[in-house]
Chain A
Amino acid sequence: DQQVKQNSPSLSVQEGRISILNCDYTNSMFDYFLWYKKYPAEGPTFLISISSIKDKNEDGRFTVFLNKSAKHLSLHIVPSQPGDSAVYFCAATAPGSARQLTFGSGTQLTVLP
């Protein structure tokens, strides 16, 4: 039972254009959402997050949008750069003592020069 889903295993985008990565979730208890980026042979690196009380959070080239009614979030990268090529994981947490992360299966983003 996958509570966080990333339905696109891969995405290719031209340098300078917008990359849009999508994520859907099923657990209505999730109240905090995060995006992590992972390069080969490295651990996931925190990118950006959003609380369920917001619908948008922006940090430089990265913006996360949250649509609670649709249980959908997306990460926009503008403009995309070749160094952005990595696997992007969507993750969510629910209230509780552990606040553990529930991850999607990831999307491999390739930014073409």
Chain B
Amino acid sequence: ETGVTQSPTHLIKTRGQQVTLRCSSQSGHNTVSWYQQALGQGPQFIFQYYREEENGRGNFPPRFSGLQFPNYSSELNVNALELDDSALYLCASRNGPGETQYFGPGTRLLVL
């Protein structure tokens, strides 16, 4: 059974650019959540997708957007990057909103 995978592992962008991060959910999992972890802090919820529909969103601006595909993989898009967007972006999947979330290794984004 393959766990949650994320790509790329590291990324460097400049302010104002756009970025797309990818996540493959664990086999059989239909729910994917994205979290942002800034240095020295715990992960913060960005949004969640359940069966290709967004069904929850944290306190993040609209320039953070996402998609979930029929195979339940997901993308996180961030437009107009700001320096404060530098963080570890974590994807988590589970088999339904009430189940335990399993995390991928994350994508480390640095915005210069």
Contacts and interface: CB of A to CB of B under 8 A. Distances in A.
Given A43-B106, A98-B48, A100-B33, A105 B58 contact: no
A105 B45 contact: no
Contacts of B92: 43, 101
Contacts of A33: none
A72 B40 CA distance: 22
B101 A98 contact: no
Contact of A43 (B40, B48, B103): B103
Contacts of B57: 98
Contacts of B48: 98, 100
Contacts of A96: 56
Given A34-B100, A98-B56, A100-B56, A43 B105 contact: yes
Interface string A29-57: 00000101000011111100100000000
Interface of B: 4, 33, 35, 40-45, 48, 50, 55-58, 90, 92, 97-98, 100-106
